[in-house]
Structure 1
Amino acid sequence: MKLLRIGAPGAEVPAVLGEDGTPLSLSGLTADIDAAFFAAGGVDRARHALATGALPPINTNDGRIGAPVARPGKVVCVGLNYVDHAEETGAAVPERPVVFMKDPSTVVGPYDQVLIPRGSVKTDWEVELAVVIGREARYLAGPTEAAEHIAGYTISNDVSEREYQLEYSAQWDLGKSCETFNPMGPWLVTPDEIADPAMLGMRLAVNGETHQNGNTKNMIFGAEYLVWYLSQYMVLRPGDVINTGTPAGVALGLPGTPYLRAGDTVELAIDGLGTQRQTFINA
């Protein structure tokens, strides 16, 4: 099942894709796809409504696709989670997940414009598999238990300002939390539609030139492991998002490759999860 939100920012309508790809409204079931939706068993209720054929077509004059999750409580990110990415940036392969937080207000739609911060000269791209939490996870017993707590998967572009991230502070958050720095979507795809989240091709191109061409099989720490690991240190709540890391091919690791400038277009995709496309403009 593919869940999405359609409409102007702040006025998105919750929806699910029908078998023919038609967006069907979930407004009769929920006000939004958010923490309350997941906590109240919204995914199962949406699946039942879809199966019964009771959902009407979406009714909105604005076809914009928003992020598939409204107002995540937190966005937890994992850095250096692909061996090739660690190597290209000159970092040691981590023995434990490298964890940092990203301001949840950075989350925007998959086709929205992204703002290059004022004075930025090193705005970079990162295609990532994102995990959305469906049930509260705290002190899970092991990675196998984590599957029960995952609502689904989607795409994140973990946009990063490298000068802010690596040169201004010992903390990464400054370079990760600039406004619009987390396009997400287009859909939240439930686990039953993903045969193996550890075997998904992922790609990213800038102005038509491919820079990232990886696969989640090369993650150092897999999605379920990360949910288990993080639950030992923080409570993961419904609607929280985990960005699981990026493969090689970012500007930081490609000497001579220019960072993003106003007018650049970034296109990214992950097998089974759809595509994104953003144009970058100056803040």
Structure 2
Amino acid sequence: MDNQEKMDQNLASKTALVTGGTKGIGKAIAARLAAAGATVIITARNQPDEADLPYHFISADLSRPEDVTRVAEEITAQFGGVDILINNMGANTFPGGGFSTLSDEHWDQAFQVNLFSSVRLDKALLPQMLARKNGVIIHISSTSGQFPIWESTMAYSSAKAALNAYSKTLSDEVAPQGVRVVTVSPGLNKTEAMSSFLNDLAKNAGISVDEMTQNLFNRVGGVPLGRMAGPEETAELVYFLVSPNASYITGTNYHIDGGNFPVVR
């Protein structure tokens, strides 16, 4: 086996959980970790479209505390825990239009899906990592957490901002015990969820999807690379961060946005 093959299989002894792993960025991350040799577990509310994926699938709605408990118990029983936890679940399915359109239920759901699901799953699986003094947790956030758009992402951005703060504080707590915690904040990704988001915005505005896409690019200040990311590009960053090559990286929020973010950070 040559050096490249060894590098490509450097997660061969690891077990990884990817939440929201049947579509979009989560699906791409699961595929990338499996390609590196990891045993991959995925969760989602709906079954994967493909029937023959080489992953262990657990159907779960992680905004529900009882589902988090069930997932953690099944993983502990069958795998003894995980070495890598990718908290990818999240959604921006809340009404646009600013504060007046958002009910208490919308706000609660935004935080249940985008913050508390990660908090609960970390709490359930982190103790096993701490006992082994080894592990990596990745929180998939969004550039929206630091660059909110009041017209369309108010509740979502607020929840992701809270996730960013939580992730940083958790990293500070557990780093001395051998566990790394890193945040990844994608910008615009060409996923099914993004397509649905743009379709809904375009329909409500009475314009074409292409016009709405350009409006969104303009609203976020433009993307110097001139396009959305492919989910595989985000997955490649996540793979690096969980690999041995990133062993000194923790507590950081990595933006992968095609140069969009408007400030030095």
Q: Normalised by the shorter chain, which TM-score bucket?
A: under 0.3
Structure with the higher fraction of residues in strand conformation:
1
